[in-house]
Amino acid sequence: MLAFPVEVRQILINLIANAIQAMPSGGTLRVSLRQVTERMTPGKRPAIRATITDTGVGIPVELRDKIFQTFFSTKEEKGTGLGLWVSQGIVQKFGGTIRFRSTKSRTGFITSFAVFIPTDATSVSVA
Q: Which position has the higher pLDDT, 83 or 124? A: 83
Q: Using an 8 Å Cβ cutoff, are 34 and 105 in contact? A: no
User: Is residue 10 classed as helix, strand or coil in its secondary structure?
Assistant: helix
**Could you tell me if residue 95 is left (phi over 0), alpha (psi between -120 and 50 degrees) or otherwise beta?**
left
Kindly provide the b/e burial profile for residues 68-87, where b requires at least 16 CB atoms within 10 angstroms of the residue's own CB. beeeebbeeeebeeebbbbb
Task: Please tell me the predicted confidence (pLDDT) of residue 121.
Answer: 44
CATH architecture of 5-118: 2-Layer Sandwich (3.30)
**Which of 53, 11, 50 has its CA nearest to residue 28?**
53
Task: Please tell me the predicted confidence (pLDDT) of residue 108.
Answer: 86
Model pTM score:
0.82
Residue 65, pLDDT > 70, answer yes
Q: What is the pLDDT of residues 15-60, one digit of tens each?
A: 999 999 999 999 999 999 999 887 665 667 788 899 999 999 998 8
Residue 83, pLDDT > 90, answer no
What ranges do the domains of the chain cover?
5-118
Task: Please tell me the predicted confidence (pLDDT) of residue 40.
Answer: 61
Task: Please tell me the predicted confidence (pLDDT) of residue 123.
Answer: 42
Read off the DSSP letter of residue 90.
H
Rounded to an integer, what distance in angstroms lies between the CA atom of residue 54 and that of residue 109? Answer: 8
